[in-house]
């Protein structure tokens, strides 16, 4: 397994178990809030802006918008999209890791599920490019 795939596997195993869900809810002042949680149920964000209190809803793993006071909310105003991406990628990560490992085995010439499947040169080039992109650090 490549170093980047191993790192993603480690992060996957260390993170809070999925599935994760994106929610558009309201804070205690009925202002929009976007949260990613481990529950299908809408989170209770009442009082979550009082940082001296323990969190009311233990299912929240991320906030992309909390308006009052404005402590969370990227200037892009894509809070819903960001919450959706976080939840979707977390839930897709196990499958993406399996695909990456299988692709790596194909490119290394080893068997996948006991089968040797001939790959066309264009497929190999595309697969190698995808793996190389995965290998690059996110900040490049």
pLDDT band for 43, please (50, 70, 90 cuts).
Answer: confident
The per-residue pLDDT of the chain, averaged, comes to 78
54 vs 118 pLDDT, higher one? 118
For the stretch 26-42, pLDDT in tens is: 655 657 788 899 998 88
Burial of 61 (0-12, 13-18, 19+ CB in 10 A): middle
Instruction: Tell me the two tokens of residue 103.
Output: 């692709």
Dist CA 28 CA 30 (whole Å) = 6
Instruction: Judge if pTM exceeds 0.85.
Output: no
pLDDT band for 128, please (50, 70, 90 cuts).
Answer: confident
For the segment 4-33, the average pLDDT, to the nearest whole number, is: 86
For the segment 91-101, the average pLDDT, to the nearest whole number, is: 84
Instruction: Tell me the two tokens of residue 102.
Output: 């299988």
User: Which residues lie across from 63 on neighbouring strands?
Assistant: 35
């Amino acid at each position: 397994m490549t170093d980047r795939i191993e790192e993603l596997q480690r992060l996957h195993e260390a993170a809070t178990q999925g599935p994760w869900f994106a929610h558009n809810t309201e804070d205690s002042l009925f202002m929009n809030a976007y949260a990613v949680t481990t529950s299908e149920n809408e989170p209770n964000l009442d009082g979550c802006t009082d940082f001296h209190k323990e969190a009311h809803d233990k299912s929240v793993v991320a906030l992309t918008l909390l308006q009052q006071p404005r402590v969370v909310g990227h200037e892009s105003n894509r809070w819903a999209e960001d919450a959706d991406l976080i939840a979707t990628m977390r839930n897709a990560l196990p499958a993406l890791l399996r695909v990456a490992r299988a692709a790596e085995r194909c490119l290394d010439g080893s068997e996948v599920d006991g089968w040797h499947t001939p790959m066309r040169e264009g497929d190999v080039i595309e697969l190698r490019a995808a793996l190389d992109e995965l290998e690059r650090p996110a900040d490049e």
